[in-house]
Amino acid sequence: MPLSEIKETKNRTVGTKQTLKALQKGKAIKVFIALDAEKRVTDPVVALCKEKNVPVETVDTMAELGKSCGIAVGCACAAIIDPGKEV
């Protein structure tokens, strides 16, 4: 199951702004994108992932991704970050 990775780690970002920040700083190892999120929100994240060669995994819904990250609301993006680096 693809979301098991994000569920099992405490080294993650939740949300588009934090995920973009982690990507810009070179700290993101893997990014998760919700397919039902607005493209204007997720497209910059996907583009930066391509630029930085960070793998992207898609998730069906924002609610599913948010729940996997331990929050009560949906989120468009999340990332697993290098445990040795803080965002």
Q: Where are the domains of the chain?
A: 4-81
Terminal alpha carbon distance of the chain: 26
Of 1, 2, 15, the residue nearest 79 (C-alpha):
15
Its pTM stands at 0.91
* Residue 75 in tokens: 């989120």
pLDDT at 1 over 60: no
> Which value, to the nearest 10 degrees, does the dihedral of the CA atoms of residues 16, 19, 23, 25 take?
110
7-29 per-position pLDDT tens digit: 888 899 999 999 999 999 999 99
Protein fold of 4-81: 60s Ribosomal Protein L30; Chain: A; (3.30.1330)
